[in-house]
Amino acid sequence: MIVVLKHNAPEEQVREFCAELEAMGLQINDSKGSDTHILGLIGDTKAVAESWVLANPVVDTCRRVSEPYKKANRKFHPDDTVVDVGGVKIGGGHFAVMAGPCSVECESQIVEVAQRVKAAGASLLRGGAFKPRTSPYSFQGLRAEGLDLMNKAKAVTGQPLVTELMNNEHIPLFLEEKVDMIQIGARNMQNFELLKAVGRTNVPVLLKRGLSSTLEELVMSAEYIMAEGNPNVVLCERGIRTFETSMRNTLDLAAVPMLKKMTHLPVVIDPSHAAGIAFMVPSLAQAAVAVGADGLMIEVHNNPAKAKSDGAQSLTPDQFDALMAVLKPEIEFFGKKLN
């Protein structure tokens, strides 16, 4: 249930009302927006009579929320959430580009790519150290060494780091290595123990949509993270499985307006994994800006032909420069600020 409070509701009376609700075993999601103050009630609200709520002088209106996601629900929090990743803002009008190689391969590769993407306008550096590969015989990533190398790049460019976590046991390492944003990959979107574990950190999370997940399933996974106390979740559409075989996946652009209606969380698009082919990435990136995304994740490699993973979909630094030159005025045209 959501309870909309009156504009001038005295704080003391609001506190008393909240105490009464908590005494009934309910958890309160307090959201004070630009012009609304909403209490989102989480728990078994069946016993809470609407007439009793409405009788309280601090209450303007109340409404039952049928969706299973609560903390992520826009009805609980009408304003856009802005997630701050090491000083880089995503959401609420702030647009962020995360770029870098699929996998970190060596120091010169990650440092060179980081410098190039930073110069082109990417505020966050992506790179995979622990890689989820379909085949156990494929390159699995440099693991802990990859995180060290990303930090070497960060020392040069100052870009906050985004990298994928696949295992609860690696969380202390990720905290020690000061990973700025933890990526939960498509394959782990419903690894609920992993979601709960990152929910117990306060590190921002980039939650990628599962290969065949519905939007409600994606938002429920965000709810798992938020229910543990971490509100800093960014959703990422990265293409889904359909009957189409000419591309790696099908980019679901319609997910952006729908997710924005369902939730207040920022939504970014990863056109690289969606298309799987580099030539499509610029068009899809432009479409992502136009459809209202809050950011992009793009794979860039200094030598895509020799990349240890996802070379076919990686842009060269020159191609990334050209794309950013097109995107910058477009982002502005659509009323967002690139940071």
Q: Which of positions 53-112 make contact with Mn ion (CB under 5 A)? A: 102
Q: How far apart are CA 219 and CA 333, in angstroms?
A: 29
Pick the piece of the chain touching ligand PEP (CB under 6 A) from 8-16, 28-36, 180-188, 312-320.
Answer: 180-188
What is the C-alpha end-to-end distance of the chain, expressed in Å?
A: 36
- In whole angstroms, how far apart are CA 106 and each of 143, 159, 205, 213, 322? 12, 18, 25, 34, 25
Q: Which of positions 36-65 make contact with ligand PEP (CB under 6 A)? A: none
Would you count residue 185 as binding ligand PEP (CB under 6 A)?
A: yes
Q: Residue 164 or residue 223: which is nearer to Mn ion going by CB?
A: 164
C-alpha dihedral sign at 244, 296, 229, 19: negative
Would you count residue 101 as binding ligand PEP (CB under 6 A)?
A: no
| CB of residue 37 to ligand PEP, shortest distance in Å | 37
Q: Which of positions 111-130 make contact with ligand PEP (CB under 6 A)? A: 128
Q: How far apart are CA 45 and CA 5, in angstroms?
A: 18
Give SS3 for 295. Answer: strand
Give SS3 for 42. Answer: strand
Give me the residue whose beta carbon is nearest to ligand PEP.
185
Q: Residue 1 or residue 165: which is nearer to ligand PEP going by CB?
A: 165
Give SS3 for 313. Answer: helix
Among 10, 68, 132, 158, binds ligand PEP (CB under 6 A): 132
The partner in contact with residue 77, picked from ligand PEP, Mn ion, none with C-beta cut-offs of 5 to 8 angstroms by kind, is: none
Q: Residue 39 or residue 186: which is nearer to ligand PEP going by CB?
A: 186
Would you count residue 102 as binding ligand PEP (CB under 6 A)?
A: yes
| CB of residue 100 to ligand PEP, shortest distance in Å | 10
Q: What is the dihedral of CA 123, 99, 209, 228, to 10 degrees?
A: -40
Give SS3 for 111. Answer: helix
Among 238, 264, 301, 308, binds ligand PEP (CB under 6 A): 238
The partner in contact with residue 132, picked from ligand PEP, Mn ion, none with C-beta cut-offs of 5 to 8 angstroms by kind, is: ligand PEP
The label of the residue with tokens 């409070």 reads 5
Among 208, 260, 308, 336, binds ligand PEP (CB under 6 A): 208
Would you count residue 273 as binding ligand PEP (CB under 6 A)?
A: yes
| CB of residue 238 to ligand PEP, shortest distance in Å | 4
Is residue 132 within 8 Å of 185, Cβ to Cβ? yes
Written as six digits, the tokens of 108 are: 């010169």
Give SS3 for 56. Answer: coil
The label of the residue with tokens 């630094």 reads 317
Would you count residue 310 as binding Mn ion (CB under 5 A)?
A: yes
Summarize as ranges the residues that interact with ligand PEP (CB under 6 A).
102, 128, 132, 185-187, 208, 238, 273
